[in-house]
């Protein structure tokens, strides 16, 4: 099937041998198709500068992430540093340092200001946190993507702290920042007085619902020595 339609609003995907009908207001985003991959590769404008070789990745749940090597080209009065170990692969967790800047981004004619993450792992991805504001149509024959806007674009700044499940009884710090006195990989006895098994029934439940835990104004983490630390998200 050379034609895809992703309806984020109704959580539906459609596939067809013939092109889908386009709405009057559709933003056009040309792409290149890598030889050994079906993931489109696109160009974007960031603060008026062209940035290429970005994967249009509907399997990535974040917003826009770029290699740290290009971060110095963009100035921002709002930025922060995050240390991250939340991405896991077949060889274990990857440790990343993220620099986050609020920047004006242009995607196929759509312009908006969003937090852009710059990664030391040299990722270049545009994902669902941005795309969910649209109905997305991909025509692989023409190598064109059409974005049909469904709502105003808003992407919250990434959390500077997160935890993963070490086992039923213990947490492990998977994201932190220089201003938080907890290290990546540090083990915690409880978060808000709860063990992992008291909040999540499975790893899938954790993946789907960890964001709800982080949407609070603050968390109370209990270290292995029994002491408590309040972490504010304001």
Q: What is the pTM of this model?
A: 0.85
Whether residue 182 is contained in a domain is answered as yes
Q: Are residues 178 and 118 both part of a single domain?
A: no
The CA–CA distances, whole Å, from 72 to 67, 101, 171, 231 equal 11, 11, 35, 30
Local confidence pLDDT in tens for the 234 residues of the chain: 799 999 999 999 999 999 999 988 899 999 998 777 778 999 999 999 999 999 999 999 899 999 999 999 999 888 899 999 866 543 445 788 999 999 999 999 999 999 999 999 999 999 999 999 999 999 999 999 999 999 999 998 888 999 999 999 999 999 999 999 999 999 999 999 999 999 999 989 998 899 889 888 899 999 999 999 999 887
Q: Are residues 73 and 94 both part of a single domain?
A: yes
Whether residue 119 is contained in a domain is answered as yes
d(CA 4, CA 7): 10
What's the domain range around 176?
162-232
Q: Are residues 189 and 120 both part of a single domain?
A: no
Q: Are residues 84 and 188 both part of a single domain?
A: no
Whether residue 155 is contained in a domain is answered as no
Q: Are residues 102 and 140 both part of a single domain?
A: yes
Instruction: Return the biggest CA–CA distance within the chain.
Output: 62
Per the structure, the count of domains in the chain is 2
What residues are paired with 118 via a beta bridge?
66, 99
Whether residue 157 is contained in a domain is answered as no
Q: Are residues 7 and 82 both part of a single domain?
A: yes
Q: Are residues 112 and 7 both part of a single domain?
A: yes
d(CA 177, CA 148): 36
Q: Are residues 95 and 129 both part of a single domain?
A: yes
């Amino acid at each position: 099937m050379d034609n895809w339609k992703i309806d984020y609003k109704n959580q539906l995907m459609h596939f067809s041998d013939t092109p889908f009908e386009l709405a009057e207001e559709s933003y056009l985003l040309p792409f290149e198709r890598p030889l050994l991959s079906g993931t489109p590769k696109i160009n974007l404008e960031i603060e008026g500068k062209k940035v290429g070789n970005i994967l249009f990745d509907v399997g990535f749940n974040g917003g826009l992430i770029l290699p740290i090597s290009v971060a110095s080209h963009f100035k921002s009065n709002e930025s922060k540093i995050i240390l991250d170990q939340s991405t896991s692969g077949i060889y274990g967790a990857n440790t990343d340092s993220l620099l986050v800047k609020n920047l004006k981004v242009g995607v196929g004619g759509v312009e908006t200001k969003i937090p852009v993450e710059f990664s030391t792992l040299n990722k270049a991805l545009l994902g669902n946190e941005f795309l969910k504001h649209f109905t997305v149509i991909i025509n692989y024959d023409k190598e064109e993507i059409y974005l049909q806007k469904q709502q105003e674009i808003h992407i919250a700044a990434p959390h500077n702290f997160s935890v993963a499940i070490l086992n039923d009884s213990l947490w492990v710090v998977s994201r932190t920042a220089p201003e938080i006195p907890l290290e990546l990989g540090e083990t915690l006895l409880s978060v808000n007085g709860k063990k992992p098994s008291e909040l999540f029934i499975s790893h899938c439940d954790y993946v789907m619902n960890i964001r709800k835990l982080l949407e609070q104004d603050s968390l109370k983490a209990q270290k292995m020595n029994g002491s408590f630390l309040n972490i504010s998200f304001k």
